[in-house]
């Protein structure tokens, strides 16, 4: 298969807003791919690399000079081999070797192929829920039920592997996927809930009400004496959190998979600022060159020595216990297993509370320094990787995780700083983020300085007033509501939006969708 065929399908996906046409274009592409090409094709059309990070960011690509080819000739296999070589280039002289390899690859590519490769290598092909769309296309191409593909993807965490199984082994191969201790699965997510009373009524009181912690999502696995700890993006951080590893290793079980949050507490037992918890994770922002790009620094009052920041786990779900998978069990049953194995380390919760008790619990959560509460249906299974109504987060003010699309140069005391943010919501059908508003509120002097230094690293283009960014940075925004607007393409605009913090622990695929924004109208 030629790379040009992948590029053509990608252009169809980008050019249409009709989900059915997107799915059809990708399915047609997959049918044409040979078995040994499928993994690469599925990864690329999803905006990913099978090799992971290969050290070829914007800085490296900008240093490469090569004229494009006149006609298509690159094959999928040839590009895959070149990317393997790039990923393997390490140590002394690796920078020059990467430039040499990139020059050879890009000079063999046409202008359209080069544009595709550059966006793929820099992460700009990431378009929110494109993986979900590709999963539908895999089901269509393999002629298997889409739910089988989604479940296999949930359990494998790797769409290329799932696609190869579907296309070569059909439904029988997909049915072989199981939860594997030591291999993370995508976490189940909560949707913004409108009101506490509304959420309780929706599930007829059959709910668990839990604190909404301002911490970092973790998924821990244990098999015998071996322990793994993963972030919400499935990145392994085991070596960075020895206190969590020791705690999980001492739980009364042989094997377990737990979902939860971790956060650092101060001497009074109250949660420390989110930035302090994240400092233990050494998180780099997506789309950066190999040099680590750190999130905004905490204010001087928040600075604490990392060695003093012991992390405390708060588990809220049990997905596997001593050889028994619990993904399909209702939450009520999973909570019993959670209490059995980790009662002392669970998030405080009320089960089937009345309206008054739930309201008091909400007030208590805020009083002790948490963000709010989460309402969970006791009858719902664990829907990994999905943000549905079975879990609803209730906060005193609405917050959304949005994508930074650009920033305007400030004026007055903000002259010389990138200030007013352009904010976008994720397109659930895999298109470009949908702009929903602007804000400069909530930006501290530290954030202004950080934005002005960091944003050019993610620059797509600029004019005299605005630096437009590749969709790579996620920011948490508080708002008073959403109103109908003809100014923005999504038909909705944020009301009184203000910056809460940046979220280096989240990727654009984790941002809230335009549907979530419209739900607040």
54-99 pLDDT per residue, tens: 766 666 777 777 788 889 999 999 999 989 888 888 878 777 888 8
The more confident residue out of 314 and 15 is 314
- What local confidence, expressed as pLDDT, does residue 95 receive? 77
Q: Hey, what's the torsion of the CAs at 60, 61, 65, 70, to 10 degrees?
A: 150
d(C-alpha 482, C-alpha 437), whole Å: 10
DSSP, res 352: S
The more confident residue out of 125 and 366 is 366
- Residue 289 predicted with pLDDT over 50: no
- What local confidence, expressed as pLDDT, does residue 282 receive? 57
DSSP, res 350: E
- What local confidence, expressed as pLDDT, does residue 57 receive? 66
In a 13 Å sphere around the CA of 114, the CA atoms on its Cβ side amount to 20
Q: What angle do CA 8, 13, 18 make, to 5 degrees?
A: 140
- Residue 283 predicted with pLDDT over 50: no
- What local confidence, expressed as pLDDT, does residue 350 receive? 94
- What local confidence, expressed as pLDDT, does residue 304 receive? 47
Does this chain's domain 3-175 share its CATH topology with 398-518?
no
Closest CA to 309 of 250, 243, 248, 367: 243
- Residue 419 predicted with pLDDT over 60: yes
User: Which region among 23-37, 52-66, 213-227, 381-395 has the lowest average model confidence (pLDDT)?
Assistant: 52-66
- What local confidence, expressed as pLDDT, does residue 127 receive? 47
Percentage of the chain modeled with pLDDT above 90: 54
- What local confidence, expressed as pLDDT, does residue 301 receive? 45
- What local confidence, expressed as pLDDT, does residue 274 receive? 67
- What local confidence, expressed as pLDDT, does residue 284 receive? 42
Confidence of residue 288 (pLDDT cuts 50, 70, 90): very low
* Backbone torsion region of residue 267, taken as left when φ is above 0, otherwise alpha when ψ lies between -120 and 50, otherwise beta: alpha
Angle between helices 159-175 and 130-142 (to 10 degrees): 40
- What local confidence, expressed as pLDDT, does residue 55 receive? 64
d(C-alpha 372, C-alpha 190), whole Å: 13
Mean pLDDT over 310-339 rounds to: 95
- Residue 306 predicted with pLDDT over 70: no
- What local confidence, expressed as pLDDT, does residue 300 receive? 45
d(C-alpha 326, C-alpha 331), whole Å: 9
- What local confidence, expressed as pLDDT, does residue 510 receive? 87
> Which of 20, 22, 53, 212 does the annotation list as catalytic?
212
- What local confidence, expressed as pLDDT, does residue 436 receive? 94
211-261 pLDDT per residue, tens: 998 888 999 999 999 999 999 888 899 998 999 999 999 999 999 999 999
d(C-alpha 121, C-alpha 105), whole Å: 12
- In this structure, what token pair is assigned to residue 300? 């001087």
Mean pLDDT over 155-178 rounds to: 93
The more confident residue out of 235 and 380 is 380
In CATH terms, the fold of domain 189-272+309-394 is D-amino Acid Aminotransferase; Chain A, domain 1 (3.30.470)
The residue written with tokens 């000739």 in the block is: 73
d(C-alpha 123, C-alpha 43), whole Å: 12
447-480 pLDDT per residue, tens: 999 999 999 999 989 998 999 999 999 999 998 8
d(C-alpha 440, C-alpha 422), whole Å: 9
Q: Residue 307: phi, psi to the nearest 5? A: -65, -20
- Residue 36 predicted with pLDDT over 80: yes
d(C-alpha 248, C-alpha 210), whole Å: 22
In CATH terms, the fold of domain 398-518 is OB fold (Dihydrolipoamide Acetyltransferase, E2P) (2.40.50)
Confidence of residue 297 (pLDDT cuts 50, 70, 90): low
Q: Distance of alpha carbon 344 from its chain centroid, rounded?
A: 29
d(C-alpha 464, C-alpha 462), whole Å: 7
Q: 3-state DSSP call for residue 16?
A: coil
- What local confidence, expressed as pLDDT, does residue 275 receive? 67
Q: Which residues of 177-192 are buried (b: 16+ CB within 10 A; e: fewer)?
A: bebbbebbbbbbbbbb
* Backbone torsion region of residue 481, taken as left when φ is above 0, otherwise alpha when ψ lies between -120 and 50, otherwise beta: left
Q: Hey, what's the torsion of the CAs at 76, 80, 83, 84, to 10 degrees?
A: -170
Mean pLDDT of the chain: 87
- Residue 445 predicted with pLDDT over 80: yes
- What local confidence, expressed as pLDDT, does residue 97 receive? 84
Return the percent helix, strand and coil in the chain, to nearest 5: 40, 25, 35
**The whole model's pTM is what?**
0.70
- In this structure, what token pair is assigned to residue 277? 């918890």
118-165 pLDDT per residue, tens: 888 887 775 444 788 899 999 999 999 999 998 898 888 889 999 999
Mean pLDDT over 353-357 rounds to: 93
- What local confidence, expressed as pLDDT, does residue 308 receive? 58
The residue written with tokens 């320094």 in the block is: 369
- What local confidence, expressed as pLDDT, does residue 290 receive? 33
Q: Which of 1.10.3260.10, 2.40.30.10, 3.80.30.10, 3.40.50.2300 would CATH assign to domain 3-175?
A: 1.10.3260.10
- Residue 202 predicted with pLDDT over 80: yes
Asked if residues 26 and 45 have their Cβ atoms less than 8 Å apart, the reply is yes
Closest CA to 376 of 214, 519, 199: 199
Return the domain boundaries, the chain.
3-175, 189-272+309-394, 398-518
Residue 32 annotated among the catalytic residues of the structure: no
């Amino acid at each position: 298969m030629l790379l040009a065929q992948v590029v053509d399908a990608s252009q169809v996906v980008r050019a249409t807003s009709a989900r059915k046409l997107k799915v059809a274009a990708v399915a047609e592409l997959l049918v044409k791919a040979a078995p040994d090409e499928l993994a690469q094709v599925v990864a690329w059309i999803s905006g990913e690399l099978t090799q992971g990070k290969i050290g070829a960011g914007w800085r490296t690509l900008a240093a490469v000079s090569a004229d494009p080819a006149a006609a298509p000739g690159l094959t999928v296999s040839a590009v895959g081999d070149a990317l393997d070589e790039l990923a393997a280039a390490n140590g002394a002289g690796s920078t020059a070797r990467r430039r040499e390899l990139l020059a050879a690859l890009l000079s063999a590519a046409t202008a359209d192929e080069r544009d595709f490769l550059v966006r793929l290598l820099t992460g700009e092909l990431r378009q929110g829920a494109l993986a979900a769309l590709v999963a539908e296309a895999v089901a269509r191409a393999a002629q298997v039920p889409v739910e089988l593909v989604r479940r296999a993807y949930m359990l494998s965490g790797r769409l290329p592997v799932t696609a190869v199984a579907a296309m070569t082994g059909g439904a029988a191969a997909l049915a072989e996927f199981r939860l594997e201790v030591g291999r993370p699965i995508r976490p189940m997510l909560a949707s913004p809930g409108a009101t506490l009373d509304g959420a309780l009524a929706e599930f007829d009181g059959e709910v668990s009400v839990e604190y909404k912690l301002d911490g970092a999502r973790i998924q821990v696995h244990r098999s015998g004496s071996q322990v793994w700890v993963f972030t919400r993006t499935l990145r392994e951080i085991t070596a960075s959190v020895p206190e969590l590893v020791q705690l999980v290793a001492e739980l009364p079980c042989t094997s377990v998979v737990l979902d939860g949050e971790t956060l650092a507490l101060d001497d009074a037992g109250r949660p420390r600022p989110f930035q302090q918890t994240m400092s233990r994770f050494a998180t780099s922002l997506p789309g950066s060159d190999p040099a680590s790009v750190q999130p905004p620094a905490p204010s001087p009052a928040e600075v604490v020595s990392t060695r003093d920041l012991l992390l405390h786990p708060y588990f809220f779900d049990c997905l596997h216990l001593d050889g028994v998978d619990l993904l399909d069990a209702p939450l009520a049953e999973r909570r019993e297993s959670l209490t059995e194995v980790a009662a002392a380390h669970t998030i405080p919760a009320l089960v089937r509370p009345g309206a008054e008790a739930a309201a008091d619990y909400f007030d208590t959560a805020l009083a002790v320094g948490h963000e709010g509460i989460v309402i969970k249906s006791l009858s719902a299974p664990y829907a990994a990787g999905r943000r549905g109504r079975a879990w609803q987060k209730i906060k005193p003010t609405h917050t959304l995780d949005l994508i930074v699309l650009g920033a305007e140069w400030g004026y007055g005391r903000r002259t010389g700083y990138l200030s007013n943010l352009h904010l976008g919501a994720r397109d659930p059908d895999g298109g470009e983020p949908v702009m929903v508003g602007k804000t400069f509120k909530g930006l501290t002097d530290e954030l202004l300085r950080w934005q002005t230094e960091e944003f050019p690293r993610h620059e797509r283009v600029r004019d005299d007033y605005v630096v437009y960014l590749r969709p790579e940075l996620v920011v948490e925004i508080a708002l008073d509501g959403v109103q109908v607007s003809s100014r923005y393409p999504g038909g909705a605009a944020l009301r009184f939006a203000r910056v809460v913090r940046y979220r280096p622990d989240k990727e654009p695929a984790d941002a809230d969708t335009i549907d979530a924004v419209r739900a607040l109208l």
